[in-house]
Amino acid sequence: MKNQAARTRTFGIWLLVAVAICLLVFSIARKPSQIFVIKDGWIRAPVASSSMTAGYCVFTNRGEQDITVVSARSPSIGKIEFHESRYEDEMHRMVQLPSLVIPAKGTLRLEPGGKHLMLFNLMDKEASVNSIEFTLSTGELIEYAFVVEDP
C-alpha cells in the first residue's frame, strides 16, 4: 500500500513538473519581442479607384546585432512589398527592396518620400485597421496593427 502511494505521489510530482515546463515554454514563445519594436504605424487611405496604397511606421532595434525584416503579409492585403522612393537622374523612382535592415541599437523610419510598405490588393478598402505580420531573418514573427488614415 505504501509502495502504491509513493508511486502515485512520484507520478503526480513528475506530471506537475512537465506541466510547469510546458507552461514556461509556451509563455516564453508567446512573449512579444523586447528587442524589435514597431510603433507609429499607419496606412494611407486608398484612393476610391485604387486597391493599392502605402504603409509607414518606425522600426526600432534595441539589440546588439542588425535585424533584417525579410517579408510582410496580412490576411486583408493581397501582397506587401518593401519599396524606396529615390531621386535619380533628375527623376523620382520607386525601387523594390528585397528586405529592410534595422541597424543594431538603431531605428528605421518608413515614411512618405522614403522607404515604405507598398500594399497591393486591399481586401477591404473601408477597414480602419489592418494587421500586418513581419517575418525576421531569424524566423521570428512580429504582428502590428496599422491604423488607416487620410492625411
CA distances to 32, 73, 131, 132 from 141, in Å: 9, 10, 13, 10
Given a cut of 70, the residues of the chain with pLDDT beneath it are 1-33
Contacts of 49 (CB under 8 A, 6+ apart): none
pLDDT at 9: 64
pTM over 0.85: no
pLDDT at 73: 98
Could you tell me whether strands 77-88 and 115-122 are parallel, antiparallel, or unpaired per DSSP bridges? antiparallel
pLDDT at 27: 43
pLDDT at 28: 44
Encode pLDDT of 47-64 as tens digits: 888 889 999 999 999 999
Could you tell me whether strands 141-149 and 77-88 are parallel, antiparallel, or unpaired per DSSP bridges? unpaired
